[in-house]
Amino acid sequence: MPAGSRIRVVIVDDSLVAREMLTQILTSDPDIEVVGVASDGQEAIDAVARLKPDLVTMDIHMPKMDGIEAVEHIMAYTPVPILVVSSSVHGEGVGRAFDALGRGALEVVKKPEPRDWAELERIGSEIIRRVRILSRVRVITHIRGKLRPPEHLPEGPVHAPMPHVGGSAVVAIGSSTGGPSALMTVLGALPGSFALPVVVAQHIADGFIPGLVAWLQTGCKLRVVPAEDGARMEAGHVYFAPTGLNLEVDGATLRFTAPERGQLYIPSADTLFRSVARTHGRHAIGVILTGMGADGAAGMKMMREAGAHTIAQDEETSTVYGMPRAAKEMGAASTVLPVGAIPAELVAMTSED
């Protein structure tokens, strides 16, 4: 998208009311232009091919062709950033929204509805913010990255020895844009006998953590749950930070903490990683997956300096190579891997004597 030009958006939703609400919200920003609308998946495919927008907002449940099939086709033939706008925050329908992310959509947000008038300004501001950010993402044809050998980086400014990884106590993961599908790839390949607890800070719209957890559980042998303040971690469990709060690890106990003033990303991967570095040092493993920005890089560097093994997802398999790039450039990552190779690396590390 050329600098200074308006962001061109196509809105896809079978509800006229929803299309009009989204149009009102988006066009309230002078830098956004709605160049087309579609009421089903096939119309969406045709509109994207014809109009070549900078971003598409995509509903899921539609007649003729649903949003899942439309996302899959668009990402295969005319790739463009896609923001899923879903009314399914809870229940079975939310899994379909995350299925769209697995096919190449970037993020999911709650659809504004007439009953949301009291919160419309907040919801609208969040949608505009996401559109502005995601429209700048360079997407490619959605094909899974091929595995390739690990890229081992030079030690850099590390002051503590690498851990005896067979004595690891916890795996900490930070992820953002593109994270749900990357998490499914990583967590879904871990065996039910995986010997460590896993803690995750995933940036996601408010209200979607329960749906993300339920969706991931359908493809995972580990038990995937929302974290609870004060709960003790157990091996073979995956704990997700809540939206609106930070998650910290205090020994074997999970703690919720309030965001710091001006904190941009909530929950914070930096906060999670720093707590793991303090309490587990070299007996921890840190992983940064796809995501925009630099959240997690400083915290992962602290983990590496404490002796933890640290892994960053590679550029080729990252939806957005922001967080992993920052970790690599800061010297926080001891290893860079394609996302499909990370599970085997985790299993190998935790199997060492």
| 335 and 203 within one domain | yes
Q: Residues 265, 243: contact at Cβ < 8 Å?
A: no
Q: Residues 320, 291: contact at Cβ < 8 Å?
A: yes
Q: Is the pLDDT higher at 93 or at 316?
A: 316
Domain that holds residue 161: 151-351
Residue 79, phi then psi, degrees to nearest 5: -55, 135
| 156 and 129 within one domain | no
Report the alpha-carbon distance of residue 274 to residue 301 in Å, rounded: 9
| 344 and 218 within one domain | yes
Closest CA to 216 of 242, 194, 190, 193: 190
Residue finishing a domain among 72, 100, 134: 134
Per-residue tokens: 283: 């007996």
203 flagged as catalytic:
yes
- For 4, residues 6+ apart whose C-beta sits below 8 A from its C-beta are none
Catalytic residue among 59, 73, 99, 203: 203
| 177 and 322 within one domain | yes
Closest CA to 56 of 68, 69, 44, 73: 44
| 168 and 103 within one domain | no
| 289 and 193 within one domain | yes
Per-residue tokens: 88: 């399914």
| 190 and 314 within one domain | yes
Residue finishing a domain among 85, 109, 134: 134
Q: What is the pLDDT of residues 203-235, one digit of tens each?
A: 988 778 988 999 999 999 999 999 999 999 999
Considering its fold, how many domains does the chain have in total? 2
Residue 143 domain-assigned (yes or no): no
State residue 152's pLDDT score: 47
- Of 236-245, 258-267, 276-285, minimum mean pLDDT range: 258-267
- Of 6-15, 37-46, 96-105, 210-219, minimum mean pLDDT range: 96-105
Task: Using the predicted structure, report yes or no on whether residue 271 has a pLDDT greater than 60.
Answer: yes
Residue 27 domain-assigned (yes or no): yes
Residue 2 domain-assigned (yes or no): no
| 328 and 202 within one domain | yes
The mean per-residue pLDDT over the stretch 126-152 comes to: 69
| 167 and 101 within one domain | no
CATH assignment of the domain containing 89? 3.40.50.2300
Catalytic residue among 87, 88, 135, 176: 176
Residue 86: band (very low, low, confident or very high) from pLDDT cuts 50, 70, 90: confident
**Residue type for position 342:** I
Report the alpha-carbon distance of residue 41 to residue 28 in Å, rounded: 26
- For 260, residues 6+ apart whose C-beta sits below 8 A from its C-beta are none
Residue 141 domain-assigned (yes or no): no
Residue 142 domain-assigned (yes or no): no
| 290 and 245 within one domain | yes
DSSP H helix total and E strand total for the chain: 11, 15
15 flagged as catalytic:
no
CATH assignment of the domain containing 233? 3.40.50.180
Q: Residues 260, 250: contact at Cβ < 8 Å?
A: no
* Ranges of H-type helices in the chain: 16-27, 41-51, 67-77, 94-102, 120-134, 179-188, 209-217, 269-280, 297-305, 323-330, 342-351
Residue finishing a domain among 134, 168, 190: 134
| 210 and 314 within one domain | yes
73 flagged as catalytic:
no
Residue 124 domain-assigned (yes or no): yes
> What Cα–Cα distance (Å) separates residue 351 from each residue in 70, 71, 140, 280, 344?
42, 39, 36, 18, 10
Residue 144 domain-assigned (yes or no): no
Span between the terminal Cα atoms of the chain, in Å: 52
State residue 160's pLDDT score: 34
Q: Is the pLDDT higher at 111 or at 220?
A: 220
Helix or strand or coil: residue 108? strand
Residue 174, phi then psi, degrees to nearest 5: -120, 135
Angle between helices 297-305 and 269-280 (to 10 degrees): 10
| 167 and 19 within one domain | no
Residue 56 domain-assigned (yes or no): yes
DSSP string, 233-259: P-TTEEEEPPTTSEEEEETTEEEEEPP
Catalytic residue among 66, 270, 295, 314: 295
